[in-house]
A and B are shown apart, each in its own frame.
Chain A
């Protein structure tokens, strides 16, 4: 069963623009993670935000977390064609390090 749900399902932007993806989840979490999956490749971990954090930055990535709304957002600034991929949020809800993934947002960055 999927815990997180990303929105939008697909997003198409021009190179240089910012991309924002949202994730909503249902149950309490220890942390929320974002992963990227390029066509034909495995998932790559991008960033982790803990339940007691509200915002985190990593390079061109900015993640926010609102536990009261059970939602998170991923912002990619100054997008590049190489950012074209599917982006998944994954929640870790307990002490067993079990990740539950959403369905993902397909981001297309046009050169």
Chain B
């Protein structure tokens, strides 16, 4: 079974530029999460989707961050414009339908460096 796929794995941009990250969850997983992980810290939830609906986006900085999950499968996280403080690893995770939703399966992450 393929795991959660993320691309790109690494991205270097200059501040004020836009950037987008893509995630393909495990097949059949209806819940998708985006996390931000700063160096030396644990992941922090940005947004959670149930199918195509964003059910928890309270931690998403909506002035510059946006996300979408069209058709309830793949998801894109965008930052526009990027700031120096956005340098971090962006992790995508998915979990199966409710019966076993407690465990999350993470992708390898996208490491973003903003110069």
Contacts and interface: CB of A to CB of B under 8 A. Distances in A.
A35 B91 CA distance: 14
B44 A33 contact: no
A98 B45 contact: yes
Nearest to B42: A101
Contact of A104 (B42, B95, B105): B42
B25 interface: no
Interface residues of A, number: 26
Interface in B88-115: 91, 93, 95, 101-109
Nearest to A102: B42
Contacts of A43: 43, 91, 93, 104, 106
B95 A101 contact: no
A2 B42 contact: yes
A99 B4 contact: no
A11 to B, nearest CB: 15
A97 B45 contact: no
B56 A33 contact: no
A96 interface: yes
Contact of B95 (A4, A30, A97, A103): A97
B40 A103 contact: yes
A98 B56 contact: yes
A42 B91 contact: yes
A101 B41 CA distance: 9
A96 B42 contact: no
Contacts of A88: 42-43
Given A41-B108, A42-B91, A97 B41 contact: no
A63 to B, nearest CB: 14
A42 B103 contact: no
Interface string A11-36: 00000000000000000001101010
Interface of A: 1-2, 4, 30-31, 33, 35, 40-45, 48, 88, 90, 92, 96-104
